[in-house]
Structure 1
């Protein structure tokens, strides 16, 4: 899909309020992380400057920390510190340590020894030499390191949106998921301009006297960092936090939850955290009480979140998936409310042209064309028992597979980069691109019926919320869900609007 100037300007005007909020979130995250990294790295470099061996060890250590993939680091932090700002800030500090520490150490280490000798001859103490001689001389190099760290942090902070910390990454992820290049470009341009602006500002600081540089830098960091610290430390007002995975469908569902809850309890503060990404992020966040509710599916519970026996899996395949899933969740002090009607199970998807060319109707038919298959599957699907692993075992199929982000797989299929992908039976793209979901003739994919997932403690403490959410039991058909996804992804309606319209039409909301 091409981006036109008009489309970009329209997106900018429509989303300017959200953009301003995301920009402030991005600034707070970035500058607080930069403040913490500077407070750690600069004094540490000053302390180790006379100790070469320790300095080399620390340089190696900070270098190793920076090689850890950012998404992996966020995933590792969630079980320990939950979701939101805290894990994002920790990850950003880790990435900022190396350039600040390295430049501070190098700046001090490369000072001409004659300056040190002159300072000693004048009888200056170690602290006086540091303040009057060493820091002024090293300050341009130190600020250069802070400048590098700032650009690195602003770019990496876009991933904070995956764990509910907000920022400009929200626009990028949403644009990719909705196949809206204007939205993606808006987030990317804003992040890039922010990085350029701060890089330019710090470059100017390198040319002024070091005291003014420190004062200006300190004012900026403390201003934004102080606000972020206050927000992180002060206990927030009690609220119900509802999160959703990346995609239009979870976004629609969490807006339905909010509408139902506030309809009965208008004074309840409901905070939505959409586009959270992978299942594991949400599940860990729920267990660590960072969120209260999120929409999950019975099949995902059985395949990824619990350890059912073979007997239980057979019973689930026969149609009793909800009860078994809920019984297994109770062992983890969690509960799943009764599910909705539609079955949003996995599907193996091809284009109509490819299916017609090779007369494909079922997954078994793929055995005729294994040599022609070039698959692009979501990473989670590749490793699931009810995904590619199951396809190999149940159907005896094996072919070339690339891992693709879920938001990119349909683009790759329609462009011919791959000729087979995974999807869900309610995906709007099936209608949008006239694709074919092959029949699962050997019943590999279990039933995936969606329902709110929460802790047993939360359910007992909020019976009114539970009663309201139970109104969705056996509601929403596959056709209705696919239509709602189409309205969001293709017609560009807001998930909140689509959710409220459905609830009103069905008499679930006045």
Structure 2
């Protein structure tokens, strides 16, 4: 509870911003879905066969996994709010259409005959008679769609649209239950509030509903217009993957660029999502720069049959060459530290058995009880490769999610874990990384990635970002990650203080 209160106090501005983004995306999506589904149901209420086909199509669309749909949309419409809204509309159309159609087509036939007997025209019958009778079903469909939208909108954070999903995903990524609870609880509260509001709106007359909807359209249209005007003044967009470390790096990029180029404006998209999403965004021009690691480039982004070289400089040069040849990308000079795999033990365990390197584990292998991420344990490039390279066997291995393995070693459940060299938990739990003395793990040095076109158009940006080349030690990044992830200090503050203290900016 103390952690939640601390986050609410230190990150209230970011939380309110995420809440506003979530509400905006949800309401716009619901409104568009209703505008599509309700008139369509009205048109097709006398065309049963066509209505059944439409219902089947919307049902099939709803079965497409959210992440797959977002991945399909990125190359077509880019990243951010637009693909998120399209995906949410796709999921929301079906319940609204189904309920509206059912409400209109299940009205008692005797009442229909009575309306015709009074000589009502088709339009008047719809407005005065059919829609009011079908309204409970329509409202029910809208409420179902709203619940679905608010829940699914959390995935919008994966493609830079923001929202409460940012805190949920960040909480999972950093094993921070406080962040996860803040995002999840606020999403649940939003659902309850909007469900109650929709119920209250259902009691209004059709005329008052129309006035309310028109007001909402004007308000959100004005807000969207303001956002577009605001974005038009931004010349560069920098994104970062999930986590504290990418957020620190992109804030450094921003400070360096704006310090050297006062007339240049930079927009940041932190906690953007997975590698595949952010790289597609760079390819489509939705973002201009993001920090990427050399090992990730060679293993994920480019096609190569060559194994990753253990020499950091050769790895970088290979990644840079292949990115330029295959994707016309510019990969700037890397920083000093490496965010690669490591094996860690407690300092007390290391001191007791004089452990400094991975090779040293061989002499105490019968005492080692390891806790590994499932992927690291199973993949040939992970523990299976370590076993062969170091001729190492251990007493036991437990696989566990990456978010809890550090807690396991802190609680004495295991005494060896895998991780990454800049993880803040190394400092938080007083762990000692074991030196990879046989250089098994490939180099993972971070560097700014951008298109060649952007690099040619903005040489001054390249010059500013190259100030980080060879800078930031592993210890420096561990400390900064600790301050952001564990102490919940603002990434912008931590990044700025590092740049000032190392005289990279004034």
Relative to structure 1, the CA distance from residue 452 to residue 197 in structure 2 (aligned partners, 3 Å threshold; closer, same or farther) is: same
Alignment of 1:471 onto 2:460? no
- TM superposition shift of 1:435: 3.7
Alignment match of 1:118 (pick from 89, 114, 121): 114
1:203 aligns with 2:205: no
What's 1:504 paired with? 500
- Partner residue in 1 for 2:321: 327
Comparing 428-437 with 414-423, greater Cα deviation is found at 414-423
CA distance, structure 1, for counterparts of residue 119 and residue 456 of structure 2: 72
So what's the TM-score if we normalise by structure 1? 0.87
Give the Å deviation of 1:170.
2.5
What is the match of residue 260 of structure 1?
A: 256
Counterparts of 1:339-354 in structure 2, within 5 Å, are 339-349=334-344
2:283 is equivalent to residue 287 of structure 1: yes
Q: Distance in 1 between matches of 2:167 and 2:231?
A: 28
The CA deviation at 1:90 is 1.1
Deviation of the 1:158 alpha carbon: 1.9
* Match status 1:139 vs 2:135: yes
Q: C-alpha distance in 2, partners of 1:250/1:501?
A: 16
Shift of 1:183: 3.5
Distance, in Å, in 1 between the alignment partners of 2:95 and 2:158 is 25
CA separation of 1:192 and 1:265: change in aligned 2, threshold 3 A: same
Query: Residues of 2 paired with 1:129 and 1:507: CA distance?
Result: 75
* Alpha-carbon offset, residue 45 of structure 1: 1.7
1:371-386 to structure 2, matched below 5 A, reads 375-377=372-374, 386=381
Q: Which runs of 5+ in 1 are unaligned?
A: none
Asked if 1:57 is matched to 2:33, the reply is no
CA distance 1:76–1:214, shift in 2 (3 Å): same
Contact in 2 for aligned 1:374/1:420 (Cα 8 Å): yes
The answer for unaligned runs of 5 or more in structure 2 is none
Residue 352 of structure 1: how far off its partner (Å): 6.8
Cα distance, 1:415–1:322 mapped onto 2, change above 3 Å: same
So what's the TM-score if we normalise by structure 2?
Answer: 0.87
1:153 counterpart residue number: 149
Describe the shift of the 1:383–1:166 C-alpha distance in structure 2 as closer, same or farther (beyond 3 A): farther
Report if aligned partners of 2:372, 2:405 keep a CA contact under 8 Å in 1. no
Q: 1:27 to 1:498 in 2, by over 3 A?
A: same
Q: Is the 8 A contact 2:26 2:149 kept in 1?
A: yes
Are 2:334 and 2:446, in contact at CA under 8 Å, matched by a contact in 1? Answer: yes
1:239 Cα deviation from its structure 2 partner: 1.6
Q: Work out the CA distance in 2 between the residues paired with 1:458 and 1:69.
A: 34
Contact 2:240-2:272 within 8 A present in 1 as well: yes
Residues 361-397 of structure 1: per-residue CA shift (max 9 Å, x gap): 638859967997664346xx68977447866987899
| Conserved 8 A contact 1:159-1:169 | yes
- Aligned residue for 1:296, secondary structure, equals strand
Paired residues for 1:82-231 under 5 Å? 82-221=78-217, 223-224=219-220, 227-228=223-224, 231=227
Q: 1:374 to 1:421 in 2, by over 3 A?
A: closer
Maintained 8 Å contact 1:346/1:425: yes
Residue 258 to residue 55, structure 1, CA distance change in 2 (3 Å): same
User: 2-side partners of 1:67 and 1:358: how far apart?
Assistant: 55
Deviations, residues 191-239 of structure 1 (Å, cap 9, x unaligned):
2222211110111223333433344345335533553367469972242
The question of whether the paired residues in 2 share the 8 Å contact of 1:28 and 1:228 is answered with: no
1:88 & 1:254 partners in 2: Cα distance? 23
188 and 369 in structure 1: CA distance in 2 versus 1, 3 angstrom threshold: same
Following the alignment from structure 1 to structure 2, what is the Cα–Cα distance between the partners of residues 83 and 329?
A: 22
Cα pair distance change 1:351/1:105, threshold 3 Å? farther
CA distance in 2, matches of 1:112, 1:161: 46
Residue 159 to residue 314, structure 1, CA distance change in 2 (3 Å):
closer
CA deviations on 1:327-363 (whole Å, 9 max, x unpaired) are: 0010211011111111221224566789899999638
The 3-state SS of whatever aligns with 1:80 is helix
Report the Cα offset of residue 294 of structure 1.
0.6
Distance 1:358 1:219 in 2: 71
Structure 1: how far apart are the matches of 2:226 and 2:118?
A: 45
Aligned position for 1:272: 268
Which of the numbers 70, 74, 88 marks the counterpart of 2:70? Answer: 74
Partner of 2:447, secondary structure, is strand
Alignment of 1:410-421 (within 5 A): 410-411=406-407, 414=410
RMSD value, Cα: 3.4
Q: In the alignment, which residue of structure 2 is the partner of 1:22?
A: 18
Q: CA deviation at 1:439?
A: 5.0
